[in-house]
Amino acid sequence: MSLMPESQIIEILKSEKIDTITTLPCEKMKELFERVSESPFFRHIPLNREEEGIGICAGTYLAGGKPLMLIQSSGLGNSINALMSLTKTYKLPLPILASWRGVYKEKIAAQIPLGKSLPKVLNALSVPYKIVHNASEVSLIEDAVREAYERNSIYVSLIVPRTFEDHAGTKNNHFPKRERSTLLEYSGRIAKPSMKRQKAIGIIAENLKDEAVVSNIGAPSKELYAAKHRDLNFYMFGSLGQASAIGLGAALKTTRKTFVLDGDGSLLTNTGVLSTTAAQNPKNLTIFCLDNGTWGTTGDQLTNAYAFVDMELVAKSMGIKNTKKIQDEKELKTLLENINGKDGPMFVHVIVKPGNANVKDIPLSPVEIKQRFMKALKQ
């Protein structure tokens, strides 16, 4: 008796030594999602948005893991910039299993425009893919997963819903108890900033020992490079909003302390990663939100954090319990002197002035940054 498609896929992923699966569900593959969530062979990371998973998978791979994404095909549309500016730019492997909506007995009109065009979109982006038309072709997934890692490439498996329709599962969801109490007492004050981001990054850099550091795109990465270049620094050149996701993925695969130098604008584009961080609860992760209240790299246009949003409160509301607001150099130095004894995940809200330092561009290619970082993490 042949295995059900869901069982075949699980066996393929086990045989290819996939250890981390990030998911955003589709009802066409609901039983596969259930099996992944229940399997002891994978770390299952539920997502709020597909782009978040791109960053988490990147960090997981950089720290020695073998991640995979399991999503609906519409999520590929949501993820194009992250896939191109992070996964493809740094030549990171990422197998993606996507239910291919909009092409087979589709009842939801909104799925059709992207779904029908998806092969052309992937071809235009030079993203390799395989189409699994039915249950007899599930074995194609094994080739796609293997080739992703052999090529250091994105590789998409578009799975037509017909694949599962003759093997309808009968599982019923069994939900855990949801009852809980929430008590949040918070009083925060943002004082007039006394230091620029460059100074804050310099203080953090001075205190670095063997921590892995993921730095946000643009000026923050250049300022970190100027302050203290080291192979344990992962400098981002693109993919806005992914710094904390990359740091989370790395922290989940290493026991090494992991710092993220993120920004208020970047985090506001992807606040969901903070709830994922709280849910995954990595003890070795600290996120520094360097909050200048502006989009610093693009000309200091104001973000909503400048006058309306308290980023520490955002982190608390997302479930991160260990938070701290830093207003000046002395407070930051004191925190860093005592941070080794603190369990994460920790969110440090650092208030800084707008403005970028006049520093040089980073003279390394994305692939060089990746290779140096991965080698340093293994030591």
List phi, psi (to 5°) of 350. -105, 115
pLDDT tens digits, one per residue of 361-373: 999 999 999 999 9
Output the six-digit token pair for 323: 């938070």
Run of H or E including 371: helix 366-378
Give the other-Cβ count within 10 Å of 102's Cβ: 18
pLDDT of residue 1: 47
| Mean per-residue pLDDT, 183-197 | 94
pLDDT tens digits, one per residue of 18-45: 999 999 999 999 999 999 999 999 999 9
What is the set of domains in the chain, with CATH numbers?
5-165 (3.40.50.970), 197-378 (3.40.50.970)
Do 215 and 262 meet the contact criterion of CB atoms below 8 Å apart?
no
Task: Spell out a b/e string for 279-301, using b for 16 or more CB atoms within 10 Å of the CB, else e.
Answer: ebebebbbbbbbbbbbbbbeeee
Give the distance from CA 66 to its chain's centroid.
14
Give residues with Cβ within 8 angstroms of 108, minimum separation 6. Answer: 101
What does pLDDT average to over the chain? 95
Nearest one of 16, 48, 113 to 74, comparing CA atoms: 113
CA gap 85, 368 in Å, rounded: 15
Beta strands at 294-295 and 301-302: parallel, antiparallel or unpaired: antiparallel
Q: How much of the chain is in helix, strand and coil states, percent to nearest 5? A: 45, 20, 40
Task: Tell me: pLDDT of 168 over 90.
Answer: no
pLDDT of residue 209: 95
Residue type, 353: K
pLDDT of residue 172: 62
The answer to whether the bond into 345 is cis (omega within 30° of 0) is yes
In percent, the amount of the chain with pLDDT more than 90 equals 91
CA gap 364, 265 in Å, rounded: 25
Output the six-digit token pair for 335: 């925190």
- Of 169-183, 219-233, 254-268, the poorest mean pLDDT is in 169-183
Give the other-Cβ count within 10 Å of 234's Cβ: 28
Beta strands at 258-263 and 212-215: parallel, antiparallel or unpaired: parallel
pLDDT of residue 342: 77
Angle formed at CA 173 by CA 168 and CA 175, multiple of 5 degrees: 170
